[in-house]
A and B are shown apart, each in its own frame.
Chain A
């Protein structure tokens, strides 16, 4: 009997009835984590012992979960999947971890990510590649790769990740699960190792929308340690999921989703993904939700990727300048302090990270800031303004999460192709504007999961969740466990 594959409601009921104990749940999760580790590599750390629950009365008490390994856990190794932090044991708890602990949720382990959360395919962690539980030859996507794999494999019913560009929503869609990034500031970032502070969000991976609502409810709220955190909206998300969505209006972006754009494209997966998307829109309309096609300047959309790269690399260079191996982290060798720092950073970072740092520092150089960093900030505003203008009419927008299924590890990816420039990067709109944004499963293409994404107005996390919940019910793709789980 597997409990960790069930929904939170079901596990809660079994715990309350005494059919299973939190100790047994922890053991089951831990055993599965260990069992799948060699095939999928979802974890950096799997805990040996269950912590005593502080609270037995919340929806999450006794329920096992996993944290991305860039979330600070006192006394538990936290590496950000980077060599430079391979021995780092934090002395403080991230707010999200503290809240889960206080709610009695049970930590099982820490998930592999792309090194320092930079990188979108789940292959750059210092402990190796994370594989897709639906097909070992494919990637799961990143950077919250291990978190998505752990949830898709049924090791835990939920995991906490982070989302800077699409780092939770993309792997969720490749893993056939739910990924929810609430409004910027809804969940405190205190204790989340910063990648790009103005884009970073704590985000949640689950197998159904209601579970995402439960978890968000526990971890949201204003935090005295994060000046950008939002005052609590006082809403119980899980209770408003069935609020009527009739009359709500969504749009999708013509330049991304209209099949006419891809007449001469022979990427069959892409075409099928889009067809499935449009079929889903018909079902969405059956819920009484209006869905319109809206056109946005293609040039603006093409700017998403370079603007994202520019802002995120620049912020990342500065955010990771604390990794010098002096009072924590990999200690370098050298006769002088400079040599020591130089050695630690040369050995501690992988190539991709270094390339991004160089790019980021170039962008911030005095003579380049105007042309690069500030122009990227201007484009960011233009995009966000455009979306907010549309939000005067619409409650949100709905899009295919990705232009296809998870790629194989050896697939050549042309990042400047049509698919990559827009279809694979529109999710950053959610980070640019801090909009609540959720990905839910939308069936399968070639037996691999695909997803759809709904993004709404800032602060309206409840509306986004209820629309997603009702679409999920209509589609029936929920509580999916990957084929790789046995």
Chain B
């Protein structure tokens, strides 16, 4: 057995109107070369002009990841030749990234872990290449799209942790509203650094870099494959080569791309066309105010203050809008557990079925709260409440109105229920005998009979206890 050490480099495209250094539209388009400017094409004489919103969004994520923020924004050039890089260099940040030394909390198997963030920097995306039989085609639409790269410390020890990190990170992008972060659209991409070491070893093993992994599932598969591959080599007394490998999602294996010897010297140096621009404390405070409570924090609140299970809390925070909906319901005075149950079981089911977002549904947190209150004060039963909620979602109707219209009010009048209980027991003396002989589950049948007589309006709990009481007397 070996200890696995994993570090991640995650790229995420930022959602802005225009590109990072030009005014061309930042949008995914099927029509090639339809959103480009002379700057994105690196035509001679063009100069980069930094997009304020891209800087702001990068800073927002850096703050959300608890990073140290520099006093000024500067950029560097990363020099290399590749057909998707029209300038022959990428504008990025090396010397003073937007954030350093931050962290992100994850939870795997109920254990919290702090994942160190080495740095976060703002850069630009490359053009995209499409490959055909003997040629490739270049589309410059993506060239210059703002991109943030987040580099973690090598501190994850399993595919599960890596995956948990990626999911938490993705939630930050979504919560901060900086990106759609869809990996199938290439908006979020990940490189994995992985090494294996003996449990008692003091030094890290040889690092292998895995590139071009285009989905979270592939991250897991690639890591698991690599662990297996490297373990086998080490078991046989072999040595791991320091190299870059790519993951092939067809056969689920990794293949060598280049070794350390061929490592490129990117000759980083300060981008001379972008003078340093100061970041004021006031500006950072302003951005901080826009960062909502994040998943990790919300899960803890839900568990500790509302008594929810980790599972339910996790489901509720998966989307910020749902978490906010849930919290609004609590603020209206609803019982947290019932609210959580109904939102996760009924409302989310409804959203999935019709591919809706929570903002699309008719039922407001206030309406949901009113419905929950009717259950709590026993005006209606839980069962009725659920039915009303389904109906309200389907028919886009206020639940209170549905309850009123259908005359659906729970009967909690002791005398009325007692009458039905007496009637049922008188009609079925053999049931009493069976019950007394130990077949106690017959009580459910008797409750059902009472419900029948009451047309479903008798309070089941009251019915149950009154039945038991009466049987004992006979």
- Asked if A and B form a direct contact in the complex, defined as CB atoms under 8 angstroms apart, the reply is yes
Q: CA separation between A322 and B89, bound complex, in Å?
A: 8
Q: Which of A91, A197, A224, A228 contacts B43 (CB 8 A)?
A: A91
The contact of A318 among B41, B48, B267, by CB within 8 Å, is: B267
- Let me know if B44 and A85 touch, CB within 8 A: yes
Q: Say if the beta carbon of B274 comes within 8 Å of chain A.
A: yes
Ordered by A's residue number, 21 sampled pairs between the chains whose C-beta atoms are within 8 Å are A72-B45, A78-B44, A85-B44, A189-B47, A197-B273, A224-B49, A227-B47, A227-B274, A227-B275, A228-B275, A318-B79, A318-B267, A321-B87, A321-B88, A326-B83, A327-B41, A327-B138, A328-B41, A341-B81, A364-B267, A373-B269
Residues of B within 8 A of A198 (CB): 272
> A212 on the interface (CB 8 Å rule)?
no
Say how far B131's CB is from chain A's closest CB, in angstroms.
11
Q: Considering only CB atoms, which chain B residue lies closest to A192 in the complex?
A: B45
Complexed CA–CA distance, A366 and B94 (Å): 13
Top-6 shortest CB links A-B = A321-B88, A364-B267, A197-B272, A198-B272, A193-B44, A322-B42
A365 contacts B by Cβ under 8 Å = yes
Bits for B112-155, please: 1 = Cβ < 8 Å to A, else 0.
Answer: 00000000000000000000000010101000000000000000
How far, in whole Å, are A190 and B44 apart by their CA atoms in the complex?
Answer: 10
Nearest B residue to A329 via CB reads B44
- Given A190-B47, A227-B49, check contact A318 B88 (CB 8 Å): yes
Flag if B77 contacts A72 (CB, 8 Å).
no
* Chain B contacts to A: CB under 8 angstroms: 38, 41-50, 77, 79, 81, 83, 86-89, 136, 138, 140, 265, 267, 269, 272-275
Chain B residue, CB-CB nearest to A366: B265
Q: Are B83 and A318 in contact (CB under 8 A)?
A: no
Name the distance in Å between A340's Cβ and chain B's nearest Cβ: 9
Least Cβ distance of B61 to chain A in Å?
23
In the assembled complex, A315 has its CB within 8 A of some CB on chain B: yes
Q: A194 to B267, Cβ gap below 8 A?
A: no
- The total of interchain contacts (Cβ-Cβ below 8 angstroms) comes to 101
User: Do A321 and B269 touch across chains, with their CB atoms under 8 A apart?
Assistant: no
Closest chain B residue to A198, Cβ basis: B272
A280 partner residues in chain B, CB cutoff 8 A: none
Instruction: Let me know if B83 and A337 touch, CB within 8 A.
Output: yes
B283 nearest CB across to chain A (Å) = 18
Chain B, Cβ-Cβ closest to A321: B88
Docked CA distance A317–B89 (Å)? 11
Given contacts A364-B267, A365-B265, 7 further A-B contacts (CB under 8 A): A91-B43, A197-B272, A197-B273, A224-B49, A318-B267, A322-B42, A369-B267
Give the docked Cα–Cα distance between A319 and B27 (Å).
28
Give the distance in Å from the alpha carbon of A192 to the alpha carbon of B47 in the complex.
9
A322 to B41: give the CA distance in the assembly, Å.
Answer: 9
Quote the shortest CB–CB distance from A222 to chain B (angstroms): 12
Q: Bound state CA distance, A80 and B43, in angstroms? A: 13
Interchain nearest-CB distance for B274 vs A (Å):
6
Within the complex, the shortest CB–CB distance from A223 to chain B, in Å, comes to 9
Identity of the chain B residue whose Cβ is nearest the Cβ of A374 in the assembled complex: B269
Please report A residues at the B interface, Cβ cutoff 8 Å: 70-72, 78, 80, 85, 88, 90-92, 94, 189-194, 196-198, 224-228, 314-315, 317-318, 320-324, 326-328, 337-338, 341, 361, 364-366, 369, 373
Chain A: minimal CB distance from B251 (Å): 25
Please give me the residue from chain A that is nearest to B44 by CB atom: A193
Asked whether, in the complex, the Cβ of A88 is within 8 Å of the Cβ of B81, the reply is: no
List the A side residues contacting B272 at CB < 8 Å: 196-198, 315
Bound complex: CA A94 to CA B45 (Å): 8
Contact B44 A194 (CB under 8 A): yes
Q: How far in angstroms is the closest Cβ of chain A from B16?
A: 17
Instruction: Write the nearest CB–CB distance from B269 to chain A, whole angstroms.
Output: 6
Q: Nearest CB to that of B273 among chain A residues?
A: A197
Provide the residues of chain B in CB contact with A341, threshold 8 Å: 81, 83
Which of B45, B50, B86, B275 is close to A194, meaning CB atoms less than 8 Å apart?
A: B45
Give bound CA distance, A327 to B79, whole Å: 18
Interface centre among B77, B83, B86, B273 (most CB of A within 10 A): B273
Question: How far is B387's CA from A419's CA once the two chains are assembled, in angstroms?
Answer: 97
Question: In the docked arrangement, what's the CA distance between A80 and B86, Å?
Answer: 18
- With contacts A318-B77, A318-B267 taken as known, whether A225 is within 8 angstroms of B88 at the C-beta atoms is no
Question: Shortest CB–CB separation between residue A339 and chain B, in angstroms?
Answer: 12
> Chain B residues with Cβ under 8 A from A90's Cβ?
43-45
Least distance between A217 CB and chain B CB atoms (Å): 23
Contact B89 A361 (CB under 8 A): no
Docked complex Cα distance between A337 and B129 (Å):
12
Closest to B135 in A: A337
Given contacts A228-B275, A318-B79, is CB(A72)–CB(B44) below 8 Å?
yes
B83 to chain A minimum Cβ distance, whole angstroms, is 5
Whether A91 touches B273, Cβ cut-off 8 Å, given contacts A189-B47, A193-B44, A326-B83, is no
CA distance A327 to B138 in the complex (A): 9
**In the bound complex, how far is the Cα of B269 from the Cα of A225, in angstroms?**
22
Given A90-B44, A197-B273, A321-B79, verify A225-B49 contact (CB < 8 Å): yes
Q: Collect the chain B residues with CB atoms within 8 Å of residue A94's CB.
A: 45
Contact of A71 among B43, B45, B83 (CB under 8 A): B45
Decide: A227 and B265 in contact? CB cutoff 8 A.
Answer: no
Report chain B residues within 8 Å CB of A373: 269
Chain A nearest CB from B91 CB (Å) reads: 11
B270 to chain A, nearest CB (A): 9
Instruction: Provide the residues of chain B in CB contact with A323, threshold 8 Å.
Output: 44, 88
Q: Which residues of A contact B77 (CB under 8 A)?
A: 318
- A228, B273: Cβ atoms under 8 Å? yes
With contacts A85-B44, A341-B81 taken as known, whether A322 is within 8 angstroms of B49 at the C-beta atoms is no
- Does the CB pair B47–A225 fall under 8 Å? yes
Q: How far is the CB of B407 from chain A (nearest CB, A)?
A: 69
The listed residue with most A CB atoms (<10 A of its CB), out of B42, B88, B138, B274, is B88
Please determine whether A322 and B38 come into contact, CB atoms closer than 8 angstroms.
Answer: no
In chain A, what residue has the closest Cβ to B41? A327
Known interface pairs A314-B269, A318-B79, A341-B81; A227-B41 also in contact (CB < 8 Å):
no
Contact A364 B47 (CB under 8 A): no
| Distance to closest chain B CB from A164 (angstroms) | 12
Residues of chain A with a CB closer than 8 A to B88's CB: 318, 320-324
